Amino acid sequence: MYDVRGEGEFSIESAWYPPKEFFIHLYNLCVKLDENVEIEVTYEDETYSPIGAIVIKKDRDGTPCMWSEEDNDIVNPLDDMDWDDENYEATSQEFYESLYDNQQAYLKQCHELVITDGEPI
């Protein structure tokens, strides 16, 4: 863990993949304090392949479940640009905003699907 932001938000680094077992363990610890706890995760690889989201919470029957969504086909337009190119800053801002928007859409999908189709943890 290297960055704590606000209440209940933090950043971690993991090699190659999102550490789902860590998030399951975190959920199991937190559910003892709050039976309605929900764990939301957004992640991205340094190459943006993959980016995604994970949600861990109880399904409609009260069973703790997990659902994840990810995209492995992100193309970074900055790879073909130099930092001093005329449109670099605008392209950069647009790209990072689209990553954020995609992750938020994945979180929404995860919240919807974990209720009905979640994988029990």
Q: Write out pLDDT tens, residues 61-75.
A: 999 999 999 999 999
Residues 6+ apart with CB under 8 A from 55: 38, 39, 40, 41, 66, 67, 68, 107, 110, 111, 114
pLDDT value at position 1? 44
What is the per-residue pLDDT across 13-29, written as a single tens digit (0 to 9) for each? Answer: 887 788 999 999 999 99
pLDDT value at position 2? 46
Q: How many domains does the chain have?
A: 1
pTM: predicted TM-score of the whole model, two decimal places: 0.87
Polymer length in residues for the chain:
121
Residue 4 pLDDT > 80, yes or no? Answer: no
Radius of gyration of the chain (CA): 17
Domain limits for position 60 = 3-120
Task: With CA atoms as reference, report the closest residue to 70 among 51, 48, 95, 55.
Answer: 51
Structure-block tokens of residue 20: 């789902």
Task: With CA atoms as reference, report the closest residue to 52 among 66, 72, 80.
Answer: 72
The mean pLDDT value of the chain amounts to: 91
